[in-house]
Amino acid sequence: MIESLAPFRETFEKELDAYRANLPKTNLYQPIDYILSLGGKRIRPLLVLLAGKAYRGDDLSLYPAAIAIEVFHNFSLVHDDIMDEAPLRRGKPTVHAKWNDNAAILSGDAMLIEAYKLLAKSSREKLPEIIDLFNTTSVEVCEGQQSDMDFETREDVSLEEYIQMIKHKTAVLLGCALKMGGILGGASEEDQQNLYDFGVKAGIGFQIQDDYLDAFGDPETFGKQVGGDILSNKKTFLTIAALKEANGSVRSELEGIFFQERIQEPQQKVSRVLEIYKELGIDRLSRNESDSYFQSAHDLLKKLDIDDAARRGFFAFLEALQVRKS
Amino acid sequence: MIESLAPFRETFEKELDAYRANLPKTNLYQPIDYILSLGGKRIRPLLVLLAGKAYRGDDLSLYPAAIAIEVFHNFSLVHDDIMDEAPLRRGKPTVHAKWNDNAAILSGDAMLIEAYKLLAKSSREKLPEIIDLFNTTSVEVCEGQQSDMDFETREDVSLEEYIQMIKHKTAVLLGCALKMGGILGGASEEDQQNLYDFGVKAGIGFQIQDDYLDAFGDPETFGKQVGGDILSNKKTFLTIAALKEANGSVRSELEGIFFQERIQEPQQKVSRVLEIYKELGIDRLSRNESDSYFQSAHDLLKKLDIDDAARRGFFAFLEALQVRKS
């Protein structure tokens, strides 16, 4: 749990429970109720509330939008899990594993529409901006997932393309959540844009940091298996930067490891790749890159026209992202 | 082609071509461009135009909404085809067959969002009604598909449930298309409702007629294999009505045929089921039922506050539905 978002969590969970309780009791909605019951950090909807309340105190109109963002996020998880053939999500069976692919496809579709239904509760005056923002964001999330899949079979992904992919796949939804809170809370257009950019920068920084931690993180505190990305030949900021930096025999060795499975033994593979990363300075380079995004995010927060208490909430959120423990 | 919709077709196809030409040239959008290129009768988008123009002549704002309805319809085809494992659509490979399931899931998702993007071009003033109508309709289409899948493993589906399923799966989108045209064209609320109800009644009548033709249609003019529903044990108005009407040994025989595959030889199965249908009067009963829906649709048209030329267009459309040749 991120502490700065904690004050909003209890009410949000209550509102989400009420939403779930009102879903029809038919087969279409059971997977929707299930996936929403699995918990998670609820970062995206809580960002709607953090931003909205920074401008307009306790506005109940924020909750449908916050739930919409969470429902959309879970839609993308349900469909991504089918595509990735993932058996588990938050330690529980994924929707397609518990039901079947068809149920997961169709319930996911219904969740995407449900998100629009929730957004449609916004005031007439604000609806066009809300819908435009959500349309742009949600199709970018699809584009990000498509790029991620495309990258699996490509050997020439550039760092720019990679950053564009993580921006779309994860960062824009954070920006969208924050901007939506800003729109509903009555932020100026300038603040709306700064909120959006803050979310995007923080999201990209977080994702690059996640790539770094997957290779260099502390196995005690990093939630996933350290070295997992290397073992699965996943394209990350680190692999792409390493292939870019490496020359001659080192480059051939890396290509052999990632594209031709030259090293079969898992522990040996991870050790050798980490050695190469260190020789090339990829650990420092990726740290610098995520820090630079976090710094941009930090600078954007200073520009927001909000009171100090609210700003402290944003700074605390950003700090929490940077000391990732789970 | 339905003649009464022909006057709108050429411009619609031009607008749709322009829309397709503007889609990004990335992997996500290729299946979207492909499925939209396969043609089809374009009934739904042309109904937006038929209704819209009945109230407000030549309004260009109708086209994005008409395209949205066609894109949504094709989204539902792409996802349904995955679920049904259908290899062909309009004589060409389905999206999941030409690419793969993942591409079909993700491009379908993007199409659903694209539909909202197109609807968001509506005037600020009309947007809330348009979005509400589309939200309600699109989630009902999902509910219809879910019921259709649920029915496959159920032996106790009632006629009421069946009609509710075909209403959701196919009829509400016709109602939605017509009402959307009405909203954009400036129809009164009463006319909007009558347009919607007209579309729903006509859609249900058409679907029951389709069930009838699958059993009793002229093999020369019916587009599909006559008896196909019987061979695949599909639940249709006819099977459900027959199981309801039949008693004693006839009922046992029907249950044996449909639920226990008692007759293996295709021609023998079709002949025996048709015999039973005739003995029970299911041919007359289903004809009466579809006629009754067509009559209700007909009566609703008389109430519309439009000029005679426009009304003739609607009547001609309804008539064309009733003399189905393809």
CATH number, position A140: 1.10.600.10
Claim to verify: residue A71 and residue A209 sit in the same structural domain? no
pLDDT at A325 over 60: no
Does residue B324 fall inside a structural domain? yes
Q: A74 pLDDT band (50/70/90 cuts)?
A: very high
Which residues does chain B have within 8 Å of residue A27's beta carbon, measured at their own beta carbons?
Answer: 146, 150
- Phi, psi at A66, each rounded to 5°: -65, -45
**Do both A200 and A297 map to the same domain?**
yes
Q: Is residue B308 part of a domain?
A: yes
Task: Search chain A and give the residue with CA nearest B100.
Answer: A83
Residues A10 and A156 reside in one and the same domain: yes
Q: Is A178 within a domain?
A: no
Q: What are phi and psi of B209, to 5 degrees?
A: -60, -40
Model pLDDT for residues B7-33, shown as the tens digit of each residue: 889 999 999 999 999 999 999 999 999
* Alpha-carbon distance B104 to nearest alpha carbon in chain A (angstroms): 10
- Whether chain A has a CB inside 8 Å of the CB on B284: the answer is no
In a domain, B221, yes or no: yes
Tell me whether residue B195 is in a domain.
Answer: yes
Distance from CA of A148 to the nearest CA of B (A): 11
Residues in chain A with CB shorter than 8 Å from the CB of B120 are: 128, 131-132, 135
- The tokens describing B61, both together, are 């704002």
CB-CB: which of B113, B128, B135 is closest to A135? B113
Cβ contacts of B142 on chain A, cutoff 8 Å: 28, 106, 109-110, 113
For residue B246, the enclosing domain spans 188-326
DSSP of B124-162: TTTHHHHHHHHHHHHHHHHHHHHHHHHHHT-S---HHHH
Q: Give domain status of residue B157, yes or no.
A: yes
Q: What is the pLDDT of residues A95-140, one digit of tens each?
A: 999 999 999 999 999 999 999 999 999 999 999 999 999 999 999 9
Neighbours of B259 (CB within 10 A): 11
Do B17 and B146 reside in the same domain of the chain?
Answer: yes
Which of B148, B164, B180 corresponds to the end of one domain? B164
Mean pLDDT value of segment B28-45: 96
Contact (Cβ atoms closer than 8 angstroms) between residue A70 and residue A44: yes
Specify whether B155 is located in the same domain as B194: no
Nearest CA in chain B to A85: B102
| pTM (2 d.p.) | 0.95
The answer to whether residues B193 and B127 belong to one domain is no
Chain A: give the shortest CA distance to residue B77, in Å. Answer: 12
For residues B198 and B157, membership in a common domain is answered with: no
Q: Is the pLDDT of residue A223 over 90?
A: no
Report the pLDDT value the prediction gives residue B220, as an integer from 0 to 100. 79
What is the structure's pLDDT at A323?
Answer: 67
B135 touches chain A (CB under 8 A): yes
Contact A127 B127 (CB under 8 A): yes
| B105 in contact with A, Cβ within 8 Å | yes
Residues A90 and A221 in one domain: no
Instruction: Annotate A137-158 with DSSP letters as a single string.
Output: HHHHHHHHHHHHHHHHT-S---
A102 interfacial to chain B (CB closer than 8 Å)? yes
Return the H-helix or E-strand segment holding A37. Answer: helix A30-37
Contact across the interface for B145 and A106, Cβ inside 8 Å: yes
Nearest CA in chain B to A128: B124
Please say whether the beta carbons of B318 and B5 come within 8 A. Answer: no
- Tell me how far apart the alpha carbons of residues B22 and B16 are, in angstroms, rounded to a whole number: 10
B136 and B5 in a common domain = yes
Mean pLDDT calculated for residue range A166-188:
97
List the single residue in A108, A132, A150 with the smallest CB-CB distance to B27: A150
Condensed to tens digits (0 to 9), the pLDDT of residues B221-263 reads: 777 778 999 999 999 999 999 999 999 999 999 999 999 989 9
Considering only the beta carbons, identify the residue of A135, A142, A150 that sits closest to B116: A135
By C-alpha distance, the chain A residue nearest B111 is A139
The domain tally of chain A equals 2
Q: How far is A130 from chain B (nearest CA, A)?
A: 10
Q: Looking at the structure, do residues B58 and B201 belong to the same domain, yes or no?
A: no
CA atoms of A244 and A314, how far apart (whole Å): 35
Which chain B residues touch A86 with a CB distance below 8 Å? Answer: none
A127/B132 CB distance under 8 A: no
Looking at this predicted complex, what is its ipTM? Answer: 0.95
CB contact under 8 A, B135 and A128: no
Residues A7 and A150 in one domain: yes
Classify residue A179 as exposed, middle or buried by CB count within 10 Å of its CB (0-12, 13-18, 19+): buried
Q: What percent of chain A has pLDDT over 90?
A: 89
Is B182 domain-assigned?
no
Residues 77-96 of A with CB under 8 A from B: 79, 82-83
| Residue with token string 């993932």 | A86
Alpha-carbon distance of A194 to A191, in angstroms, equals 5
Q: Are B129 and B183 in contact (CB under 8 A)?
A: yes
SS3 A93: strand
Instruction: Please answer whether residues B290 and B212 qualify as being in contact, where contact means their C-beta atoms are separated by less than 8 angstroms.
Output: yes
Based on the fold, state whether residues B200 and B70 are members of the same structural domain: no
Q: Is residue A26 part of a domain?
A: yes
